[in-house]
Chain A
Amino acid sequence: MTSTEKTPAVPAPRDADSPLLQVRDLHVEFHTRDGVVKAVNGVNYSVSAGETLAVLGESGSGKSVTAQAVMGILDMPPAKIPRGEIRFRGQDMLTMSGEARRKLRGAKIAMIFQDALSSLNPVLSVGYQLGEMFRVHQGLSKKAALARAVELMDKVKIPAAKNRVHDFPHQFSGGMRQRIMIAMALALEPELIIADEPTTALDVTVQAQVMDLLAELQREFHMGLILITHDLGVVADVADKIAVMYAGRIVETAPVHELYKNPAHPYTRGLLDSIPRLDQKGQELYAIKGLPPNLLHVPQGCAFHPRCPKAQDICRTDAPALHTLGEGRRSACHFWKETVHG
């Protein structure tokens, strides 16, 4: 990789303790005809090498927009980042030049998208698309790039990769296409992978295959992984720590075991309680009342208060700060003490 040997503008600090990626007070707005949609309102999170952070939230919670901002693939305009920092190995990616950022994207930070069929170009063979990574970033010849593409397809366990490298995306099944997406993300051996609902479009047996593969490759390359999902089951299986998002804010962060055992935010508790459980069969499922808010009119105070069983007057007026409960545990609830103790 010749491009990285030309020293980057700021030498990247390489101590093991500092996180790979740090997002600080990130705000993202979309300026639309109907007004300003505040999709992300002050998000903080960090990921270290080898660590898996799961960002959990429903549609409209801002989890994907945050990831797109990190990746630098938001359409601006209509999107705008009025405030915030996104530091990769200490360097703020929002202030660096477009050229410097482009060098990081793909090479150091890669993304896996939800829908593999619409993310792959239907008129180019998968070998060509995989090889493009090497041709563009490393200046390899067509032939050498194709050889690397075959290696990658082997790596993600696509059978008979050599014969299939000239096939087109539609000739692969959904699970295979998602493997190709993973291969593409891995091509330049990035340090951080952002996976946006990587298995949502897949069947459970295939989902298990793909998640297994992802975990194996993460261990092998010691990558940081940000997994964006709404599936509480997948999160429990793979995450080290979790950030729960609601209406553009992080409402709770916690190590995985503690979040499931003892949620400190009523929204998290509601999500966990609404999973059908064996001993509740035949009874009514717990349901969070109401609907997720319209981001054009986020409720005053705590955004969750209209749906919260614990809401009091203070919740309607004051937005709660993210209280620190302990090591890696935070909750944006005025009543986190009561919540965490049941």
Chain B
Amino acid sequence: MAEPTKTVGEREPILQVRDLVKHFPLTQGVLFKKQVGAVKAVDGISFDLYKGETLGIVGESGCGKSTVAKLLMNLERATAGEVFYRGEDITKLSGRALKAVRRNIQMVFQDPYTSLNPRMTVGDIIGEPYEIHPEVAPKGSRRQKVQELLDVVGLNPEYINRYPHQFSGGQRQRIGIARGLALNPEVIICDEPVSALDVSVQAQVINLMAQLQDEFDLSYLFIAHDLSIVRHISDRVGVMYLGRMAEIGTDEQIYEHPTHPYTQALLSAVPVPDPAAREGRERIILTGDVPSPADPPSGCRFRTRCWKAQDRCATESPVLAVPERFQGSDSPAAHASACHFAEVKDVVGAA
């Protein structure tokens, strides 16, 4: 699986992630630091992101989804594995070549309160990418470009000289999105872009992102823990658990026909905003907590909390592939799932 596959169907993959690994070393000793272990934040992840699509990544805290985002941005150096952008492995790039690639992959951060420099005006914040990539906008036209961007994200262009503290959370997130759009990127990585916002404002930002995607033909990697929002915006969804991908497929395959026990538990745990669903709803309440990524369980990562776990799960790591029993079938259950005992279970999941 190390080589990037060519075009699937008519769609062309824009990012291809292959066996991506990131281990953060744990050291001991003050003078002579010696490595005593590693936090296996991301431990062998592969997926494709196609042009114009939204790939949602869900998972609980500590599953490594934010580390994946940083690896794709090359903000962290991968321990192993490749990330191909238009066929070129960007994990090995540096200097000018890396700078050129980064122009096309931008990021929107979670917390609109800490991701904007409080001492810079909105104009300087959104215009800063042009300082690094002057070829996109010559000096004279920058102010006008920034005002256009403000307009695109639904802010008054006259706000260009204001400071971040003069804006509400939702407006700040729009500023963050405008900054992400400044260089006309092809891919935007959104790490929990709406989770810090109020419910009534979340919908505004989600609508804006969907509209921008159509307008600029953007590809989104949308990382979030809110399953209903991910479903709304995503074409495909990947479920991560403890540094690995548990299951990946179209939104319908994942939400309606999950075959991995973790996905099933996750979906059944989401509270449904309808009191009529209270009765007659089977919920899978997992016991225990997510194990430490510094000392993950052998074999299947989920086996310590899984009700289906057997001896085989402790010894043999399940591969992320279409389970044997569903191979060749065109049922919606036939999608990649990393479980030895993958099967469809009827769960009343998140809307």
A interface residues, Cβ below 8 angstroms from B: 58-59, 173-176, 203-209, 211-212, 230-237, 239, 256-257, 260-261, 270-272, 274-278, 280-281, 284-289, 291-292, 307
Given A204-B225, A284-B207, A272:B289 Cβ within 8 A: no
Interface residues contributed by chain B, number (CB under 8 Å): 42
**CB <8 Å contact, B273 and A212:** no
Interface presence of B199 (CB below 8 A): yes
**What residues on B are CB-neighbors of A286 within 8 Å?**
203
**What residues on A are CB-neighbors of B275 within 8 Å?**
236-237, 239, 256-257, 260
Q: What total of A-B pairs shows CB separation below 8 Å?
A: 118
B181 to chain A, nearest CB (A): 19
**What residues on B are CB-neighbors of A291 within 8 Å?**
168, 170-171, 201
- 11 CB < 8 A contacts A-B: A204-B269, A205-B266, A208-B285, A233-B270, A236-B275, A237-B271, A239-B275, A260-B274, A276-B232, A287-B207, A307-B200
**What residues on B are CB-neighbors of A176 within 8 Å?**
289
Which of A233, A272, A284 neighbours the largest number of chain B CB atoms within 10 Å of its CB?
Answer: A233
Which of A208, A236, A276 neighbours the largest number of chain B CB atoms within 10 Å of its CB?
Answer: A276
**CB <8 Å contact, A208 and B232:** no
**CB <8 Å contact, A275 and B286:** no
> B273-293 CB contact bits vs A (8 Å, 1 = yes)?
111111000010111011000
**CB <8 Å contact, B266 and A204:** yes
**What residues on B are CB-neighbors of A292 within 8 Å?**
198, 200
B interface residues, Cβ below 8 angstroms from A: 60-61, 168, 170-171, 198-204, 206-207, 210-211, 225, 227-229, 231-232, 251, 265-266, 269-278, 283, 285-287, 289-290, 351
**What separation, in Å, do the CA atoms of A291 and B169 have in the docked complex?**
10
> Interface on chain A toward B: helix, strand, loop, or mixed SS?
helix
B345 to chain A, nearest CB (A): 16
Given A59-B198, A204-B270, A230-B198, 4 more A-B residue pairs with CB atoms under 8 Å apart are A236-B272, A276-B232, A284-B211, A307-B200
**CB <8 Å contact, A285 and B273:** no
**CB <8 Å contact, B266 and A237:** no
Residue of A at shortest CB range from B251?
Answer: A281
**CB <8 Å contact, B270 and A58:** no
B274 partner, pick from A175, A236, A281, beta carbons under 8 A: A236
Given A209-B286, A257-B275, A260-B273, A281:B231 Cβ within 8 A: yes
**CB <8 Å contact, A212 and B285:** yes
Residue of B at shortest CB range from A258?
Answer: B275
B289 partner, pick from A58, A175, A278, A280, beta carbons under 8 A: A175
**CB <8 Å contact, A284 and B277:** no
**What separation, in Å, do the CA atoms of A257 and B279 have in the docked complex?**
12
Residue of B at shortest CB range from A267?
Answer: B200
**What residues on B are CB-neighbors of A209 within 8 Å?**
285-287
**What separation, in Å, do the CA atoms of A209 and B286 have in the docked complex?**
7
**What separation, in Å, do the CA atoms of A207 and B271 have in the docked complex?**
9
**What residues on B are CB-neighbors of A287 within 8 Å?**
200-201, 203-204, 207
